[in-house]
Amino acid sequence: MRAPKPAAPSFERIDLARRETARSAAPAAPTPKPAARQNPTPLPARWPAALDELRVHLSAQGLDTGLTQTVLATCAETLNPRAQDDRVRVREHIQQQLEAHLRAWGSPALASPARPGAGPRVVCLVGPSGSGKTSMAAKLAAHHTRNLGLRVAWICADTYRAGAIAQARIYAESLRLPLRVAYTGAELAQAADAEKDSDLILVDTPGCNPRREASLVELGELLTALPTRVTYLVAPATAKDEDLADAVSAFGAFDLKGLLLTKLDETATFGALYNLAWRSRLPLLFYSSGPGVLDTLEPASAAPLVRALLNADPASLEGGAR
Ligand SMILES: Nc1nc2c(ncn2[C@@H]2O[C@H](COP(=O)(O)OP(=O)(O)O)[C@@H](O)[C@H]2O)c(=O)[nH]1
Ligand SMILES: [Mg+2]
């Protein structure tokens, strides 16, 4: 099957400057409309049974309504009537389409050993409180030291939450990583400079409420001290669709380069995560499926997420991109 052209996502990332402009200018910029097919084929009054089963399933999973209609209509257009009644064919077709829609955003490496002399990659993890940033930092550190042989340093910039520094110390000691604590942007820049001989510097940031401007400004003050940083959003599978949309919209101010998805073991509903990746156009980097540091991190790709969505089962994430 030819990969279908990705449908237009239904919201765009915005930055703080645009938020400010949108607030002060009247009228406010209109919210982009939900995804719609360019020349939509009229939807049938009744779908064939196999397609209708999938429509009900994708709706229960919370997949974007416009995207659901797009993939079903594409299926109805491309499969002959007999194939449309074949549950296996229909499922395969939808799986391939949904994978293709995400693959359009690519899947870059978070850090690779092939950057001699380029200095360390400075990776900042941002996200709402409890989204799994610190655990993700530990998992990324373990993966990049043990599997890729990189020299990793950890900077704890979460000096707000009680116990955050102690938690960072425990992880850093058990993974044998140098740990630095930064209370201000200036200290963050100094800490990164002091670790310039490492390959990868992981910066764990304080939990930030995407609905509170002051919280975002504080985080912004920290992050601007690291002009060469690469920033990823840590987003939990357990969050609601609207919460994830708010998060990507607010944290988009920090020039997000990708998504680190957590807590995929704690849900059987994956529409919101899929919508997040599709609407934000951000590449998927890693999946976390458990609270432990070892054996719970997988390099992310579209196929396992779509399988989990179609099976309503996190166990379907296993087996990678096959
Ligand atoms: N089940 C499960 N728990 C997780 C996962 N990632 C993090 N957690 C747990 O979620 C809680 C919050 O994680 P933490 O890393 O402290 O979040 P932070 O506030 O964003 O730094 C902790 O109890 C973690 O053990 C995951 O992928 N699966
Ligand atoms: Mg934390």
* Per-residue three-class SS string for the chain: CCCCCCCCCCCCCCCHHHHHHHHHCCCCCCCCCCCCCCCCCCCCCCCCHHHHHHHHHHHHHCCCHHHHHHHHHHHHHHCCHHHHCCHHHHHHHHHHHHHHHHHCCCCCCCCCCCCCCCCCEEEEEECCCCCCHHHHHHHHHHHHHHHCCCCEEEEECCCCCCCHHHHHHHHHHHHCCCEEECCCHHHHHHHHHHCCCCCEEEEECCCCCCCCHHHHHHHHHHHCCCCCCEEEEEEECCCCHHHHHHHHHHHHHHCEEEEEEECHHHCCCCHHHHHHHHHHCCCEEEEECCCCCCCCEEECCHHHHHHHHHHCCHHHHCCCCC
The tens digit of pLDDT for each residue in 166-180 reads: 999 999 999 999 999
- Quote the ligand 2 centre to 318 CA distance (angstroms): 26
Residue to mutate, 155, 170, 262, 318, ligand 1, most ligand atoms under 8 Å from C-beta: 262
pLDDT in tens, 56-79: 999 999 999 999 999 999 999 999
- Number of the ligand 1 atom closest to the C-alpha atom of 130: 19
In this prediction, residue 107 carries a pLDDT of 73
What pLDDT score was predicted for residue 38? 47
| Residue 4 confidence (pLDDT) | 45
Q: Is the CB of 9 inside a 6 Å radius of any atom of ligand 1?
A: no
**CB-ligand 1 contact for 231 (6 Å cutoff):** no
The CA 119 to ligand 2 mean position distance, Å, reads 26
pLDDT in tens, 19-31: 333 333 333 333 3
User: Is 238 close to ligand 1, i.e. is its CB under 6 Å away?
Assistant: no
Percent of the chain with pLDDT over 90: 74
The confidence score (pLDDT) of residue 116 equals: 62
Alpha carbon distance, N-terminus to C-terminus of the chain:
17
For residue 44, what are the β-bridge partners?
A: none
Is the beta carbon of 266 within 6 A of some atom in ligand 1? yes
Q: What is the chain's alpha carbon radius of gyration, rounded to the nearest angstrom? A: 21
Evaluate: CB of 304 within 6 angstroms of ligand 1: no
Which numbered ligand comes closest to the C-alpha of 298?
Answer: 1
Residue nearest to atom 6 of ligand 1 (CA): 132
Amino acid 297: pLDDT: 95
| Full set of structural domains in the chain with CATH | 16-103 (no CATH), 121-317 (3.40.50.300)
Residue 302 pLDDT level (bands cut at 50, 70, 90) = very high
pLDDT digits (tens, 9 = 90+) for 234-288: 999 999 999 999 999 999 999 999 999 999 999 999 999 999 999 999 999 999 9
Mean pLDDT of the chain: 86
Q: Is the pLDDT of residue 210 over 80?
A: yes
Residue 106's pLDDT band, with cuts at 50, 70 and 90, is confident
Q: How far is the CA of 161 from the centre of ligand 2 (A)?
A: 8
Dist. CA 26–CA 40, nearest whole Å: 33
Q: Which residue has the higher pLDDT, 77 or 107?
A: 77
Kindly report the CA angle at 67 between 61 and 68, in degrees rounded to 5?
Answer: 50
